[in-house]
Amino acid sequence: MASVIKQATNVCLNSNGSLGIDQACLSIINKYKQNLTFYSTFSECRLCHGIPTTNLSAESNTTLLVSTKYPLHMYYMTNLEWCHTTYVFKEHGSYGWNLSAKELCSDIYVINEPSDAYFPLLAALVILIMLIIVIQTGKVILRAIKYYFERDTTYIHDDLTRLQESESPVQPIMNITRLSTRIQSVDTFRGIAILLMIFVNNGGGEYVFFNHSAWFGLTVADLVLPWFAWIMGLTIAISKRAELRNTSSRSKIILRNFARSLVLIVLGLMINSQKSKYLEDLRFPGVLQLLAISYFVCTVIETIFMKSHLQFGRFFILGDILENWIQWLIILSIVTAHTLITFLLPVANCPKGYLGPGGYDTFKKYINCTGGAAGYIDRYVFGNHMYAQTQNPVYGVILRHDPEGIMNTLSAIFIVYLGIHAGKILLYYYQCSSKILRWLLWSLITGIIAGFLCNFSKEDGIVPLSKKMMTISFVLTTCSFAFLLFAILYYLIDYKQFWTGTPFVYAGANSIFLYIGHSVTMGLFPWSWKENDQTHSTQLVINLWTTALWLLIAHLLYKKDIVITV
């Protein structure tokens, strides 16, 4: 289990050695007069046996390099398993553990205090808050100075000018641009998603919670793709209705949507080709491919069945649902098909409904069942043309499974349509309170259903939370947060106008361009660079710089009224 713990022949035993990110040292003193076998596994590993890590020689001191990403479960074995314990090691700390028959199961103790791995994150947050305060204060001062000088300025007009103004008053001209007609809260939401995506895709400072979960659970990084799909759905509801009003041909709308989806798929394949040497191993699925297919399916459904005029009858309070019952029937049929395939499709030597990663999971009983039905379908359809990562940091070696595969694309269609429904609420109801109340209700309902499905935990319940599998509980959880976040943004930006959405609104206006741009330039100077001594501090600075540079590019495009769309 090399990713968890290994012999420390250099760093921990060398006084001049330097520990890397998420590393600590553990010295195990074996006082037994016999050799012992030391076992370990991350506690994150559900129902996992300990993995033989090293042999502890009789009456010896063995020093190991330990990963601090997750709490570590450890024990040793003579004829029996002894001293099962789980310990939270902290970065750059040095620890000791004495194994003795006389002092059975002694506590792990600290030899050298660990460093504060989260201090760089706290420092970055404080600097960001101070920067915001300085900028906002500067704006207030500039407005005050401008008002002071304008107040004492006297404009002198001749009699002819005054006469002309009195007879033909000139109305001020409103400057209408492409960006002035956009909904600020929508671009702000999309900007938050894309900037967060750029940050985590570049490493997120190498913090665990800014990286995707190993298999089960939910991290900040797991939110970005569902949020991007959700807000894409919201814009579909707005744009397709506008297109329908401007043209009577639904077939033309579908053809345009097909062309756009095809372009996104080609762009996605181009991005994938950066990591493939040969056509034989080119990955077919991907983020843009998933978005393109889910976008096309939902736009076709909406274009065919969307009504050109809203007609609410007796059940006005449920009008947004009842007016679109055909679309809901189709979407729920897709969700039902996804569920039936997941839980009923037979996979050789695997239990039906298995949603785990295989590998060490479930005591290695289903080592070749990675992804259950979804993984089986992807491997059967794509073969080598899929995500090639088979080394999981928690579950060891697993089979290929694509997080943007066929079954996950079906889940994405559901996410996009929930976004479409959020957009219909925006269009159908005039009072802001009605809109916000419905978004909050949808947030509550989807959250409760997700909680019941996963038993309000990350690994339990009928359908556990898993981004890798994009399970229904994961879909509903992320959409619950999306409904909540958008309700807050709409209230602050479009209703009360407490905030303009700056700076996220800049990135939201050109989100696809930023995604493609950061994918192509990832790891390239000046967006990024390599450091010999990698720490959370250096990685956080680099990743924040990458994100800030793309935000600056988005700001320049915004100020020039440039919107790059596909």
Q: How many CB atoms lie within 10 A of CB 64?
A: 23
- Report, in angstroms and rounded to the nearest whole number, the Rg of the chain calculated over CA atoms: 28
The rounded distance, in Å, linking the Cα atoms of 281 and 544 is 33
Peptide bond preceding 503 in cis form (omega within 30 of 0): yes
Q: How many Cα atoms within 13 Å fall on the side-chain side of residue 501?
A: 28
Beta pairing partners, 73: 41, 86
- How buried is residue 161: exposed, middle or buried, by Cβ count under 10 Å (0-12/13-18/19+)? exposed
Is 338 an annotated catalytic residue? no
Residue count of the chain: 566
Give how far Cα 327 sits from Cα of 154, 310, 412, Å.
62, 15, 16
Instruction: Report which residue type is found at 240.
Output: K
The three-class DSSP label of residue 525 is coil
Active-site choice (212, 338, 385, 401): 212
Beta pairing partners, 94: 25, 112
Q: How many CB atoms lie within 10 A of CB 169?
A: 7
The three-class DSSP label of residue 462 is coil
Calculate the CA 136 to chain-centre distance: 29
Sign of the dihedral through C-alpha 389, 395, 398, 403: negative
Give how far Cα 418 sits from Cα of 83, 109, 240, 258, Å.
49, 51, 15, 21
The rounded distance, in Å, linking the Cα atoms of 465 and 524 is 34
**What does 179-199 look like in DSSP terms, one character per residue?**
TTTS-HHHHHHHHHHHHHHHH
Closest to 401 (Cα-Cα) out of 354, 460, 453, 337:
354
The three-class DSSP label of residue 51 is strand
Q: Token pair for residue 487?
A: 């309700």
Return the residue matching tokens 């694509």: 402
Beta pairing partners, 36: 56
Beta pairing partners, 397: 391
**210, 219 contact by CB (below 8 A):** yes
Peptide bond preceding 351 in cis form (omega within 30 of 0): no
The rounded distance, in Å, linking the Cα atoms of 215 and 422 is 29
The rounded distance, in Å, linking the Cα atoms of 270 and 265 is 9
Q: Which residues contact 378 (CB under 8 A, 6 or more apart)?
A: 285, 371, 386, 400, 401, 402, 405, 406, 407
Instruction: Report which residue type is found at 201.
Output: N
Give the strand pairing for 5-7 and 72-77: unpaired
The rounded distance, in Å, linking the Cα atoms of 117 and 473 is 32
Which residues does the annotation mark as catalytic?
212
